């Protein structure tokens, strides 16, 4: 009898403890996880009862030590709306609003008076983004027909920093705010919030959804984005590109800095760009991200991939030679070295070192069309899978032709156009033992449940052997020192010693709108990675239609050197002195 009684007591006690546990867990989710939502309820005392405050997850930059810096967040303030049916003095109302928030008014004086006098309307918004002080001051005046309501809006603390990659929020086809470009669009389902939890009764919220106490379906996918973009590196890249574009009056410039071993992008920027905090002043064409949405013919930075293909296929070795005649005729088309000079008997290292078009064409012939197509489709046959919207596929139609001149042209970067991110992904395989990684901007999602979900990005796959990658790296190391000498002539502070860097410039003739190529208009590019034998970063730079200059070694080498020097110091990267090669005697184009 006593035993049965004790068992009943234990059962009741256990049920009470379990219920208390459930309540505590629910309190955690209500007060901690959703605490910000309930704080917003206090703000809602100023808002119209039928509307909810805009809510959306945040996006963060990540500093080199792991600190999160806001890239996209929410600001809270006030909007001003009119009720013309209760408005008594439109002129006085306008004067009062203009006195405290003239910069926030979205209508002119005449439009304001006209709207305020239209008695058929009951709600007209006339000002947005008032500060707390301005909103409270205006509300205190208690002007008939003037409503001061709480509002939230998207704000970007970094201004134009990585703007084309972070993206914007605006109204799409419907009446709902959503991500339209960049990460805002790519991860819209993660960043969006339903907003219906703001106005539930507290106790109803506390005891509802008992079956989802530990995790809700919404909490499983809603959260904040943690990006791999390092704000200091992004700032330095942006500043350098702005200088290049201004110095050479280019129509556009861009760059990407990536960890070749993981595909994590620490900086990507282009010029011109825009400030997402002032969308009314933005040219819509600037919302495109040229690093993933535009394709270019990159010129000679394609030659390392041609060399890697030939080495990997076994049709050449670093010591293979050919007779360089300066110009050749292929399918009745003439192909020449940049300076039209013949080099005579030339080995493969000198093809890269001297940037010889004839040499690259010769390798393409040794490969044959079938093998050339196989390798180049592995580099550029698909999009990269970068987590940005609207990525474009390359224009690789010449791979499906049979004219040898098309393959010869592609071997040195003409007649094939790809995006900057695709070009970097392929070239970075040289720094990563022949393996192409998936370039990406987001490393993790901090869920509303409080859990951080780390994202995985599988490699795109090996495209050539590690031995091939090592041989091409040695060739690229011979190129950089002489380009550095050129840059040092203009700024001696840029040079530094004992850091082996693998690099290649590209100078491509710009394509004419109706077909063919200009003879004096160019697209410049630069690719490099360092330290050459233990790579931390791979960098791709370009500038389009630079004025008054011919070769990319003049426009982009100083910028590349500045970035290498900055990154070496900023990340405290020790120099890798392994197999440092002596400086060659000549200066390549």
Going by their DSSP bridges, the two strands 223-227 and 59-62 should be labelled as parallel
Residue 206 sits in the same domain as residue 125: yes
Q: Are residues 202 and 349 in the same domain?
A: no
Q: Are 458 and 404 in contact (CB under 8 A)?
A: no
* Statement to judge: residues 290 and 308 lie in one domain: yes
Please indicate, yes or no, whether residues 204 and 261 belong to a single structural domain of this protein.
no
Say whether pLDDT at 41 is over 90.
Answer: no
Same domain, residue pair 219 and 237 = no
- Of 162-171, 279-288, 532-541, least confident by mean pLDDT is 279-288
Place of tokens 């959703």: 34
Flag whether 7 is in a domain. no
Helix (H, G, I), strand (E, B) or coil at 150: strand
Identify whether 5 is part of a domain: no
Alpha helices in 131-265 (DSSP H): 132-141, 163-166, 182-186, 188-191, 202-207, 231-248
CB neighbour list of residue 543: distance below 8 Å, 6 or more residues apart: 241, 244, 245, 248, 250, 252, 253, 523, 524, 552, 555, 556
Whether 237 and 111 share a structural domain: no
State yes or no: pLDDT of 203 exceeds 90.
no
Q: What is the DSSP string of 397-460?
A: GGGG---HHHHHHHHTTSS-BB-HHHHHHHHHHHHTTTEEP--BSEEEEEETTS-EEE------
Give yes or no: residues 396 and 475 share one domain.
yes
| pLDDT above 90 coverage of the chain, percent | 71
Q: How many domains does the chain have?
A: 2
Cα within 13 Å of Cα(130), Cβ side? 27
Whether 143 maps to a domain, the answer reads yes
In this prediction, residue 199 carries a pLDDT of 40
- For residue 576, the model assigns a pLDDT of 60
Tell whether 324 and 187 lie within a shared domain.
Answer: no
Q: How far apart are CA 343 and CA 337, in angstroms?
A: 10
Give Cβ neighbours of residue 491 (< 8 Å, ≥ 6 apart). 558
| Main-chain dihedrals φ then ψ at residue 232, nearest 5 degrees | -70, -40
Instruction: Tell me which of 186, 207, 227 is where a domain ends.
Output: 227
Mean pLDDT of the chain: 86
pLDDT tens-digit readout, 517-538: 888 899 999 999 999 999 999 9
Judge whether 19 lies within some domain. Answer: no
Cis peptide before 531 (omega within 30 of 0): yes
With beta carbons less than 8 A apart as the criterion, state whether 82 and 89 touch: no
Domain span including residue 415: 231-276+286-570
Task: Say if 95 falls within a structural domain.
Answer: yes
Helix (H) or strand (E) holding 481: helix 466-490
Interior angle at CA 211, CA 205 and CA 213, nearest 5: 55
The mean pLDDT value for 284-309 works out to 97
Q: How far is CA 260 from CA 344, 363, 436, 438, in A?
A: 36, 26, 8, 9
* Phi, psi (deg, nearest 5) at residue 532: -55, -35
Which regions of 452-580 does DSSP assign to beta strands (E)? Answer: 452-454, 461-462, 502-511, 517-530, 537-544
The residues, ordered by sequence, that sit 6+ positions from 2 with a Cβ below 8 Å of its Cβ are: none
Q: What are the tens digits of pLDDT across the range 406-417?
A: 999 999 999 999
DSSP strand pairing (252-258 vs 265-271): antiparallel
141 and 272 in one domain? no
Instruction: Supply the CATH number for residue 478's domain.
Output: 3.40.710.10
Which range, of 11-25, 69-83, 246-260, 434-448, averages the lowest pLDDT? 11-25
Residues 6+ apart with CB under 8 A from 449: 29, 33, 215, 216, 219, 220
d(CA 34, CA 218): 12
The pLDDT assigned to 517 comes to 87
The verdict on residue 4 lying in a domain is no
SS3 state of residue 227 = strand
Q: Which residue has the tokens 């040219």?
A: 283
Q: Is 186 helix (H, G, I), strand (E, B) or coil?
A: helix
Claim to verify: residue 566 and residue 436 sit in the same structural domain: yes
Residue 26 CA from chain centroid, whole number: 38
Confidence category of residue 150, pLDDT binned at 50, 70, 90: very high
At residue 101, the pLDDT reads 82
Report the alpha-carbon distance of residue 105 to residue 130 in Å, rounded.
9
118 within a domain of the structure (yes/no):
yes
| Assigned domain for 16 exists | no
Up-side HSE of residue 87: CA atoms within 13 Å toward CB?
A: 26
Same domain for 398 and 446? yes
The CATH number covering residue 180 comes to: 3.90.1310.10
What are 527-568's pLDDT values in tens digits? Answer: 999 999 999 999 999 999 999 999 999 999 999 999 999 999
User: And the tokens for 417?
Assistant: 């156009």
Based on the fold, state whether residues 245 and 115 are members of the same structural domain: no
Q: How far is 555 from 561, CA to CA, in rounded Å?
A: 11
Residue 511 has pLDDT above 90, yes or no: no
């Amino acid at each position: 009898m006593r035993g049965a009684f004790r068992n009943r007591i234990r059962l009741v006690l256990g049920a009470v403890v379990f219920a208390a546990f459930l309540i505590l867990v629910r309190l955690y989710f209500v007060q901690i996880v959703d605490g910000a939502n309930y704080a917003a309820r206090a703000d809602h005392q100023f808002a119209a009862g039928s509307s909810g405050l805009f809510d959306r997850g945040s996006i963060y930059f990540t500093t080199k030590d792991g600190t999160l810096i806001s890239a996209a967040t929410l600001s809270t303030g006030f909007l001003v709306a009119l009720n013309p049916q209760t408005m008594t003095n439109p002129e006085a109302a306008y004067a009062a609003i203009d006195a405290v928030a003239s910069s926030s008014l979205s209508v002119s004086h005449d439009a304001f008076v006209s709207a305020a006098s239209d008695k058929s309307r009951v709600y007209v918004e006339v000002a947005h983004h008032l500060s707390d002080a301005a909103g409270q001051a205006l509300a205190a005046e208690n002007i008939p027909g003037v409503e001061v309501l709480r509002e939230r809006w998207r704000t970007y603390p970094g201004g134009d920093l990585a703007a084309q990659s972070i993206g914007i929020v605006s109204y799409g086809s419907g009446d709902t705010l959503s991500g339209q470009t960049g990460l805002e669009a790519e991860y819209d389902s993660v960043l969006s919030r339903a907003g219906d939890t703001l106005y539930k009764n507290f106790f109803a919220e506390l005891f509802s959804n008992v079956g989802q106490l530990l995790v809700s379906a919404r909490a499983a996918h809603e959260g904040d984005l943690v990006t791999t973009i390092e704000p200091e590196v992004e700032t330095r890249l942006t500043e350098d590109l702005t200088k290049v574009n201004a110095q050479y009056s280019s129509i556009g410039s861009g760059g990407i800095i990536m960890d070749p071993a993981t595909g994590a992008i620490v900086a990507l920027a282009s010029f011109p760009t825009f400030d997402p905090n002032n969308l009314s002043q933005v040219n819509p064409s600037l919302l495109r991200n040229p690093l993933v949405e535009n394709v270019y013919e990159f010129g000679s930075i394609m030659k390392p991939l041609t060399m890697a293909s030939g080495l990997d296929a076994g049709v050449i070795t670093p010591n293979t030679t050919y007779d360089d005649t300066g110009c050749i005729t292929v399918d009745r088309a003439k192909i020449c070295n940049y300076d039209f000079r013949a080099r005579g008997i030339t080995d493969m290292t000198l093809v890269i070192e001297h940037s010889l078009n004839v040499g690259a064409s010769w390798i393409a012939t040794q490969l044959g069309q079938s093998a050339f197509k196989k390798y180049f489709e592995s580099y550029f046959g698909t999009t990269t899978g970068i987590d940005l919207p609207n990525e474009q596929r390359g224009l690789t139609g010449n791979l499906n032709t049979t004219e040898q001149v098309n393959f010869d042209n592609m071997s040195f970067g003409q007649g094939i156009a790809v995006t900057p991110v695709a070009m970097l992904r392929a070239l970075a395989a040289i720094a990563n033992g022949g393996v192409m990684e998936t370039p990406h901007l987001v490393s993790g999602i901090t869920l509303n449940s409080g859990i951080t979900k780390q994202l995985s990005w599988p490699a795109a796959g090996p495209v050539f052997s590690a031995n091939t990658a090592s041989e091409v790296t040695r060739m690229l190391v011979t190129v950089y020192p002489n380009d550095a000498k050129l840059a040092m002539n203009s700024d001696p502070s840029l040079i530094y010693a004992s850091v082996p860097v693998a690099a290649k410039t590209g100078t491509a003739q710009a394509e004419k709108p109706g077909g063919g190529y200009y003879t004096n208009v160019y697209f410049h590019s630069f690719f490099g990675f360092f330290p050459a034998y233990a790579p931390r970063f791979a960098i791709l730079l370009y500038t389009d239609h630079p004025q008054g200059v011919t070769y990319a070694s003049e426009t982009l080498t100083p910028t590349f050197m500045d970035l290498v020097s900055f990154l070496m110091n900023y990340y405290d990267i020790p120099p890798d002195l392994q197999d440092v090669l002596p400086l060659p005697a000549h200066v390549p184009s």
